[in-house]
């Protein structure tokens, strides 16, 4: 029961062979059993989940996700429910409002199971920087699930939820989806409202689904996509029914394979598995050609100027004054610094409230935006970002879809990269360009290494062409059974 997809559950609900309360109760028991080992959840809303499941049974006019359990990443606001971004600085913070995506989920009848673990403020690729401690990959508990939406991905693949919401700033949905062997969808920038998402980098962030298969991803996107006047970056363009794009033939689809994504640094097993997946796409009728995205090599450098700069600005609001954590100063400190008590409170609160990676990115971003360095770093990075976007614009004049690996490696060991931030940053080398360009992308499972670790295939499309991703992703998925595998957590 706990490994059913949402569309399978909905069919069983409709047939009367299963009830939402049975599913919610089964999941809650499984969470109680396995979450201490995996640590995917930071908060379980047991009473609310059961109440929402019961309401789904009693409501005559049911929503498209009525009775379907979903976990929410801990940087998406749920009214009255602790939302911390996995950071000490926001401990006990309870938003006074719901994010737009939460309102949409409630209207659709989804059952909100609780909050999932994440890298602090979404700063990370391994789900190890959380104040709550790391999440573990259900395929191998000594390995990371990817990040920053690692808790959401781990919960889905371990059967602790049916669906999940994550956020993607530089690969934070797609990379953990690849490392956990599920489907992760990063929509076009502006397709899904960011209202109620606690901001990391406002020009890059997008909310999206993590699901067991492509059909579930389409169902969830049908619910959360659309214009929102509460979000100034939300685009007012029609939202199609994504389930109608699910087709098994790729005849007429032209796919580009960028040579820059198959160079030194990629794990040989990952490259072999991805190449096999590309050959499968050809067999399904797609035309496949090698092509170039020449400015790809600059993506990491650009991202780690733009994203920390925006993070530095966004995180300036967390100062311990009106909400969240406030460091209590000692009597000696208060007396010795009586002339600047507010300044000292800021220093003490932010110094103690933020973790190492958050401080690192705030410092990097503040430096890049500082007087005398703004033009040399931030402004130049934005100009190169435009070149990266132009590469994609030109490519999509000739190709319907671009295919790449999602991650250069399978899941790595816990602690393997925490002492080397640059190596950690390179984990997102294949996903960052997508956010800089604002285009949609999807990761689908495409195989397993000899050690039994999942590998992800990344699909890219032009802005607001999510239908292409669902088409190509579904066709590939139906020709294989990688998405049907799930780990046995011991």
Indicate whether 384 belongs to any domain.
no
The distance from CA 157 to its chain's CA centroid, rounded to whole angstroms, is 14
DSSP reduced 3-state for 137: strand
Can you tell me the distance from the alpha carbon of 462 to that of 487, in angstroms, rounded to the nearest whole number?
A: 34
Supply the pLDDT for residue 331.
54
DSSP reduced 3-state for 33: helix
Catalytic site includes residue 148? yes
Indicate whether 300 belongs to any domain.
no
Domain of 168, CATH number, reads 3.90.1300.10
Can you tell me the distance from the alpha carbon of 96 to that of 354, in angstroms, rounded to the nearest whole number?
A: 23
Indicate whether 151 belongs to any domain.
yes
Indicate whether 313 belongs to any domain.
no
Token pair of 254, please? 């032209």
What are the two backbone dihedrals, phi and then psi, of residue 404, each rounded to the nearest 5 degrees? -145, 170
Contact 9, 57 (CB under 8 A): no
Which of the 8 DSSP states describes residue 291?
Answer: E
**Single pTM value for the model:** 0.96
Supply the pLDDT for residue 49.
96
Q: Please confirm whether the linkage preceding 148 is cis (ω < 30° from 0).
A: yes
Catalytic site includes residue 104? no
Indicate whether 364 belongs to any domain.
no
324 Rama class: left (phi>0) / alpha (psi -120 to 50) / beta: left
Supply the pLDDT for residue 181.
98
Indicate whether 389 belongs to any domain.
no
Per-residue pLDDT of the chain (490 residues; tens, 9 = 90+): 889 999 999 999 999 999 999 999 999 999 999 999 999 999 999 999 999 999 988 877 889 999 999 999 999 999 999 999 999 999 999 999 999 999 999 999 999 999 999 999 999 999 999 999 999 999 999 999 999 999 999 999 999 999 999 999 999 999 999 999 999 999 999 999 999 999 999 999 999 999 999 999 999 999 999 999 999 999 999 999 999 999 999 999 999 999 999 988 899 999 999 999 999 999 999 999 999 999 999 999 999 999 999 999 999 999 998 889 998 876 545 555 555 778 888 899 999 999 999 999 999 999 999 988 999 999 999 999 999 999 999 999 999 999 999 999 999 999 999 888 888 988 899 999 999 999 999 999 999 999 999 999 999 999 999 999 999 999 999 999 999 999 999 7
Supply the pLDDT for residue 339.
54
Q: Which of 73, 88, 115, 186 is catalytic?
A: 73
Please calculate the CA angle 197-199-200 and round it to the nearest 5 degrees. 130
Supply the pLDDT for residue 338.
52
Q: Please name every residue paired with 111 in a beta bridge, in sequence order, or none if there are none.
A: 69
Supply the pLDDT for residue 333.
53
Q: Which of 125, 126, 130, 148 is catalytic?
A: 148
Can you tell me the distance from the alpha carbon of 82 to that of 94, in angstroms, rounded to the nearest whole number?
A: 5
The domain in which residue 136 lies consists of 6-253+398-484
Can you tell me the distance from the alpha carbon of 104 to that of 58, in angstroms, rounded to the nearest whole number?
A: 19
Can you tell me the distance from the alpha carbon of 367 to that of 214, in angstroms, rounded to the nearest whole number?
A: 42
Indicate whether 372 belongs to any domain.
no
Task: Count the domains in the chain.
Answer: 1
Contact 152, 165 (CB under 8 A): yes
Catalytic site includes residue 172? yes
Can you tell me the distance from the alpha carbon of 380 to that of 246, in angstroms, rounded to the nearest whole number?
A: 41
Token pair of 355, please? 């973790």
Is 405 exposed, middle or buried (CB count within 10 Å of its CB: 0-12, 13-18, 19+)? buried
Contact 454, 446 (CB under 8 A): no
> Around Cβ 290, how many Cβ atoms within 10 Å?
9
Closest CA to 143 of 93, 196, 180: 180
Is 403 exposed, middle or buried (CB count within 10 Å of its CB: 0-12, 13-18, 19+)? buried
Q: Which of 125, 172, 309, 433 is catalytic?
A: 172
Token pair of 175, please? 């990379």
Indicate whether 457 belongs to any domain.
yes
């Amino acid at each position: 029961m706990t490994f059913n997809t949402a569309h399978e559950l909905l069919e069983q609900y409709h047939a009367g062979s299963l009830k939402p309360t049975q599913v919610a109760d089964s999941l809650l028991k499984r969470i109680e059993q396995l979450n201490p080992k995996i640590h995917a959840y930071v908060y379980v809303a047991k009473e609310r989940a059961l109440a929402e499941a019961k309401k789904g049974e009693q409501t005559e006019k049911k929503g498209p996700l009525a009775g379907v359990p979903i976990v929410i990443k801990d940087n998406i606001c749920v009214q009255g429910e602790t939302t911390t971004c996995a950071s000490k600085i926001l401990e006990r913070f309870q938003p006074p409002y719901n994010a737009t995506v939460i309102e949409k989920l409630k209207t659709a009848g989804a059952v909100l199971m609780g909050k999932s673990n994440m890298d602090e403020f979404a700063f990370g690729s391994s789900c190890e920087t959380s104040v709550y401690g790391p999440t573990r990959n259900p395929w191998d508990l000594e390995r990371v699930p990817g990040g920053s939406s690692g808790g959401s991905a781990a919960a889905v693949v371990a059967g602790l939820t049916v669906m999940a919401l994550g956020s993607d700033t530089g690969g934070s949905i797609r990379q953990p989806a690849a490392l956990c062997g599920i489907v992760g969808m990063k929509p076009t920038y502006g397709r899904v409202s960011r209202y109620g998402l606690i901001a990391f980098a406002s020009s890059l962030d997008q909310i999206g689904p993590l699901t067991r298969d492509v059909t579930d991803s389409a169902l969830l996107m049908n619910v959360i996509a659309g214009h929102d006047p509460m979000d100034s970056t939300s685009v007012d363009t029609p939202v199609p029914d994504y389930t109608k794009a699910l087709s098994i033939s790729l005849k007429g689809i032209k796919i580009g394979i960028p040579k820059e994504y198959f160079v030194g640094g990629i794990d040989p097993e990952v490259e072999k598995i991805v190449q096999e997946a590309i050959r499968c796409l050809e067999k399904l009728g797609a035309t496949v050609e090698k092509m170039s995205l020449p400015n790809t090599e600059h993506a990491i450098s650009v991202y780690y100027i733009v994203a920390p700069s925006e993070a530095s600005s966004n995180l300036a609001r967390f100062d311990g004054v009106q909400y969240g954590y406030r460091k209590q100063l000692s009597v000696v400190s208060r007396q010795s610094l009586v002339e600047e008590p507010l300044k000292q409170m800021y220093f003490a609160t932010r110094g103690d409230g933020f973790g190492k990676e958050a401080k690192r990115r705030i410092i990097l971003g503040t430096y890049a935006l500082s007087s005398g360095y703004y033009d040399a770093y931030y402004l130049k990075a934005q100009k190169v970002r435009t070149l990266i976007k132009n590469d994609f614009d030109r490519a999509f004049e000739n190709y319907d879809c671009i295919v790449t690996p999602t991650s250069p490696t399978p899941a790595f060991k816990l602690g393997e990269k925490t002492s080397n931030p640059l190596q950690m940053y390179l984990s997102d080398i294949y996903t960052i360009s997508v956010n800089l360009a604002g285009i949609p992308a999807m990761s689908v499972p495409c195989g397993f290494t000899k050690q039994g670790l999942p590998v992800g295939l990344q699909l890219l499309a032009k802005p607001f062409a999510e239908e292409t991703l669902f088409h190509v992703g579904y066709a590939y998925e139906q020709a294989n059974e990688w998405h049907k595998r799930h780990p046995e957590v011991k």
